[in-house]
Amino acid sequence: MHPKVQEKAGRLPDSPGCYLFKDARGKVLYVGKAGSLRKRVASYLRPGGDGRISIRFLESEARDLDFVVTNTAQEALLLENTLIKKFRPKHNLKLKDDKAYLMLRIDLSEPWPWFRFVRRRRSDKARYIGPFASAGAIRRTLRILHRVTPMRDCSDGVFQGRSRPCLKAQIGRCPAPCVGEISREDYMELVHRAIRILEGRSDDLVRDLQERMAKAAEELRFEEAATCKEHLKALALITERQRVDDGRADRDVLGLHALGTRTLLVHFLYREGKLEGSKLHEFETQLPPSEVLHNFLLRAFAGDRYVPREILLPFEVPELADVQAWLQAKRGRRVDLVVPKRGDRRRVVELASENARLCLEAGGSAQDRARRELDEVAALLGLPSGLRRIHCLDVSTTQGRDTVASRVCFEDGAPKRGGYRRFKIRGAAGREDFASMAQAVARSLRLCLEREDEDLPDLLLIDGGKGQLSSALQGVAECGLDPSDLPVVGIAKDKERGGRRTGERLFLPGRPEPIPLEPGSPPFLLLTRVRDEAHRFAITFHRKLRSSLTSELDTIPGIGPKRRKALLRHFGSLANLRRASLQELQSSGCLPPALAATLYESLKRNPQ
């Protein structure tokens, strides 16, 4: 241990807080939390007092130690998450599967609020209900809820475009606020009733329905009584589902196996007593298994993620009581962290650990798998071994407007963000897909030839079939390159043709028939992963461009959401609005003449 680290470790207080190991340049290597900083850091020392710390990277890299004292262990847990997000230490675990569970969001300040599915809680004034253990369960619950409390569930675009009640209104599932068939006061009463039901506060509604049913039956209004009875049944279904979700039927099971610096963790998810899914998490880490499991618990259940009633662990983790208290505070109810010693629960933990062992031994390291994928792609395409760098290009457009292209770069099977590029397609080429691809390829290759920080790829992958491939070859030729020196391949998406699926296919120059990609094979996994990343990157850029004019309109005083919507509805598109003359803007009826002149000058100053 470095003397400076050893000295600071000996002076740590016996208080809860967070500790940060740093390297010689002051960069944070690892962040941890502790109920007792002194005891926690001392636990890294191996038995025997020989001064060597049990985590190898701390011995070789750590040159400084900082700490932050908190009032409680719970505060330390929250601070640890904040510090990890801020510093992104390379030795803390990073979970690839970062998708949170579904929640319901409803903004009561809207004229006609409705429930939206979201996965992130924003800092706004909306109400959030959840998270929920199962997406299917909450969708079914909402369908049942609309029998008791009819509400709109259509998007704002559909809502504003309605001129008559929809089918759901005709069968009593929506009160048709879009066409004025309910007042806002009555609609908000339905909204508040729905919120009370979803939050488990439905006793008053049940009593009211029972009284109305009895009174209607007594007065021989049997149809109304039957409706009340149906609503009571629906409420019972919702209440029963909430009761089941709150029981021990919801359980997570964790199994772990470590081999050298590689650790694989299997996460079984039991919902309503049934195995709903499993997740694999692989880490390259020098942390001992107990630290890996401790870190995983803090990452896997952070934010708005669903916390089940019970979590089964393969062994004890540090600060177990603090982690359990943190999870209970998040859930708002009891949570059991259990290390079972015998019985069915022990057997399911052993099954998860055995799955982790088999997957780890069968899969090899991440580098081995990437090398195998690259070698099999090279063999499939008849290329020499040693394939490392792949560029993939994709074009995104909307009917020939705002056409853009993206290039992603993968090295050794992993994304290389520094090699990502975006291109706005210039001139008339932007109105035609094939010409756009030729321009994008030419510009991408010129960057590789002219810039010192760019290298030509070992394989150029094009998102598209024969036509896109031919256009790409034109771009290669424009740069004076020969296809024999730069392999170019098109990848076409799976689609239905003649009543059957075509599957993913590769198109090669000079080959009339495509090469089918076998689903699940290493070439399939690698090439579709690269293609999908290029598509995501292009779509993101395209959406940003499409929203740029909207952002510009927002900066002009006097143009708010209503006038912006009226302008786009009148002119039909952003491009038409930019081409409009001053007279056309003033005669549109959307803006006062002076404001139309201001908009016209702004659009001319900032042409796209």
pLDDT at position 138, please? 72
pLDDT at position 443, please? 92
Segment 220-244 mean pLDDT: 68
pTM of the model: 0.46
pLDDT at position 237, please? 60
Tens digit of pLDDT for each residue in 469-487? 999 999 999 888 877 778 9
pLDDT at position 608, please? 54
- Domain 251-363: which topology? Nucleotidyltransferase; domain 5 (3.30.420)
Strand-pair category, 251-259 with 310-312: parallel
Segment 571-591 mean pLDDT: 81
d(CA 547, CA 99): 26
pLDDT at position 268, please? 86
pLDDT at position 175, please? 92
In this model, does residue 295 exceed pLDDT 80? yes
> Which of residues 574 and 257 earns the better pLDDT score?
257
* CATH of region 373-542, choose from 3.40.50.2000, 3.40.50.720, 3.30.420.340, 3.30.70.260: 3.30.420.340
Q: What share of the chain is helix, strand, coil (3-state, %, to 5)?
A: 45, 20, 35
> Which of residues 440 and 606 earns the better pLDDT score?
440
Residue from 437, 413, 408 nearest 425 by CA: 437
Give the model's confidence band at 199: pLDDT under 50 very low, under 70 low, under 90 confident, else very high. Answer: confident
If you write DSSP's letter for every residue of 487-551 in order, what string do you get? Answer: -EEEEE---EETTEE---EEE-TT-SSPEEPPTTSHHHHHHHHHHHHHHHHHHHHHHHHHHHHHH
CB-based contacts of 222, cutoff 8 Å, min separation 6: 216
In this model, does residue 254 exceed pLDDT 90? yes
pLDDT at position 311, please? 94
pLDDT at position 50, please? 38
In this model, does residue 372 exceed pLDDT 70? yes
pLDDT at position 261, please? 77
Residue whose structure tokens are 């992958």? 461
Computed over every residue of the chain, the mean pLDDT equals: 81
Residue 86, exposed/middle/buried by CB under 10 A (0-12, 13-18, 19+)? exposed
Tens digit of pLDDT for each residue in 154-191? 888 888 888 888 888 888 889 999 989 999 999 999 99
Tens digit of pLDDT for each residue in 97-133? 445 567 788 999 999 999 988 877 777 788 887 766 5
In this model, does residue 54 exceed pLDDT 70? no
d(CA 197, CA 301): 26
pLDDT at position 177, please? 92
d(CA 381, CA 459): 10
What one-character DSSP code corresponds to residue 72? S
Secondary structure element (H or E) that encloses residue 554, with its range: helix 522-554
Lowest mean pLDDT among 20-24, 242-246, 372-376: 242-246
pLDDT at position 235, please? 65
What one-character DSSP code corresponds to residue 219? T
If you write DSSP's letter for every residue of 321-338 in order, what string do you get? Answer: HHHHHHHHHHHTS--EEE
Segment 209-224 mean pLDDT: 82
Tens digit of pLDDT for each residue in 60-108? 788 888 888 888 887 887 788 788 888 888 888 766 544 556 778 899 9
Segment 325-342 mean pLDDT: 88
Peptide bond into 131 cis (omega under 30): yes
> Which of residues 15 and 142 earns the better pLDDT score?
15
> Which residues in the chain are classed under CATH 3.30.420.340?
373-542
CA distances (Å), 110 to each of 107, 121, 150, 277, 309, in order? 6, 18, 17, 37, 35
d(CA 203, CA 210): 11
> Which of residues 209 and 46 earns the better pLDDT score?
209
> Which of residues 500 and 85 earns the better pLDDT score?
85
Interior CA angle at 138 toward 134 and 139, to 5°? 115
The sheet carrying 127-129 orders its strands as 116-118, 103-106, 127-129
Segment 401-411 mean pLDDT: 85
d(CA 440, CA 402): 14
pLDDT at position 245, please? 40
d(CA 89, CA 31): 7
**CATH code linked to domain 555-605:** 1.10.150
pLDDT at position 26, please? 87
Segment 307-317 mean pLDDT: 91
> Which residues in the chain are classed under CATH 1.10.150?
555-605
pLDDT at position 277, please? 67
Of all residues in the chain, what percent carry a pLDDT higher than 70? Answer: 84
d(CA 131, CA 102): 6
pLDDT at position 242, please? 45
Q: Provide the Cα torsion 76, 79, 85, 89; round to 10°.
A: -50
> Which residues in the chain are classed under CATH 3.40.1440.10?
3-87
d(CA 440, CA 422): 9
Segment 433-460 mean pLDDT: 88
> Which of residues 232 and 498 earns the better pLDDT score?
232
Superfamily of domain 3-87: GIY-YIG endonuclease (3.40.1440.10)
Give how far the C-alpha of residue 390 lies from the chain's centroid of Cα atoms, to the nearest Å.
25
**Token duo for residue 103:** 């929640």
> Which of residues 27 and 47 earns the better pLDDT score?
27
Of all residues in the chain, what percent carry a pLDDT higher than 90? Answer: 17
In this model, does residue 46 exceed pLDDT 80? no
pLDDT at position 101, please? 61
